[in-house]
């Protein structure tokens, strides 16, 4: 089974690309979705212990956690040490389940694939990209997004140009959904043929 890593900087259209892979029948494991699930389950107690006040009604309040991290950006590594091993365990379960089912390939949607050195866990990398002005426009429309928060997120991410250089496949989402879908279908066809 081929393990494909799907990544891209914030606002590049990675979530849309992941959904298009799903629509073509490709199993996709979403790391962000896993974090959301963990913030309602296994991660609540250890995150609350490290960041008092972030758990409300047994769930991690992401806005409060964000506020604490903006106030102390150096503590992000501490959060990652708690959450990343739990996310990886869910990822391994996903891979094992689909390998047992005979899937020819799966996609791991990992926003910080290069930043967390996760490229060693995948066979091929797909990078989702778009023009910088489109990226900024998309991101600034998000609820609660500020220029400061956007800058903090970008500072944590490897530049888009470097991600593209390290990619096996590139999806450019600057154009229409149909153009994006056609690029993804071509990648799926190549993977199925290999």
What are the distances in angstroms from CA 5 to CA 57, 70, 134, 154, 172?
Answer: 34, 28, 23, 20, 16
Residue spans of the domains in the chain: they are 1-27+106-194, 39-102
Report d(CA 74, CA 178) in Å as an integer. 41
Instruction: Residue 134: name the closest of 32, 10, 7, 6 by CA.
Output: 10
Cβ–Cβ < 8 Å for 135, 145? no
Report d(CA 120, CA 39) in Å as an integer. 26
State pLDDT tens for residues 96-108: 999 999 999 999 9
Please report which confidence band the pLDDT of residue 70 belongs to, taking 50, 70 and 90 as the band edges: confident
What is the model's pLDDT at position 136? Answer: 94
Whole-number percent of the chain with pLDDT over 70: 100
Cβ–Cβ < 8 Å for 110, 128? no
State pLDDT tens for residues 139-159: 999 998 999 889 888 888 899
What is the model's pLDDT at position 76? Answer: 87
Winning range, highest mean pLDDT, from 83-87, 109-113, 155-159, 164-168: 164-168
Angle at the Cα of 79 from the Cα atoms of 73 and 81, rounded to 5 degrees? 125
State pLDDT tens for residues 3-62: 999 999 999 999 999 999 999 999 999 988 899 999 999 999 999 999 999 999 999 999
Q: Which CATH superfamily is domain 1-27+106-194 in?
A: P-loop containing nucleotide triphosphate hydrolases (3.40.50.300)
State pLDDT tens for residues 73-90: 889 889 999 998 999 999
Sequential DSSP letters for 17-61: HHHHHHHTT--EEEHHHHHHHHTTTTTHHHHHHHSTT-EETTEE-
Nearest-10 crossing angle of helices 76-100, 62-71: 130
Instruction: Residue 62: name the closest of 99, 82, 84, 35 by CA.
Output: 35
What is the model's pLDDT at position 1? Answer: 95
Maximal CA-CA distance, the chain: 51
């Amino acid at each position: 089974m081929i393990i494909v890593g799907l990544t891209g900087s914030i606002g590049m259209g990675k979530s849309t690309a992941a959904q298009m892979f799903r629509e073509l029948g490709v199993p996709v494991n979403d790391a962000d979705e896993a974090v959301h699930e963990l913030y309602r389950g296994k991660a609540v107690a250890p995150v609350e212990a490290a960041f008092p006040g972030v758990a409300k009604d047994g769930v991690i309040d992401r806005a409060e956690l964000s506020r604490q991290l903006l106030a102390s950006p150096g503590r992000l590594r501490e959060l990652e040490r708690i959450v990343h091993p739990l996310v990886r365990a869910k990822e391994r379960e996903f891979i094992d389940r689909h390998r047992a089912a005979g899937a020819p390939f799966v996609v791991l949607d990992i926003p910080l694939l290069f930043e967390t050195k996760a490229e060693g866990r995948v066979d091929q990398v797909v990078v989702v990209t778009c023009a910088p002005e489109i990226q900024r426009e998309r991101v600034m429309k998000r609820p609660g997004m500020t220029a400061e928060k956007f800058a903090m997120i970008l500072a944590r991410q490897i530049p888009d140009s470097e991600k593209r250089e390290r990619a096996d496949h590139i999806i450019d989402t600057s154009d229409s959904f149909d153009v994006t879908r056609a690029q993804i279908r071509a990648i799926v066809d190549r993977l199925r043929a290999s």
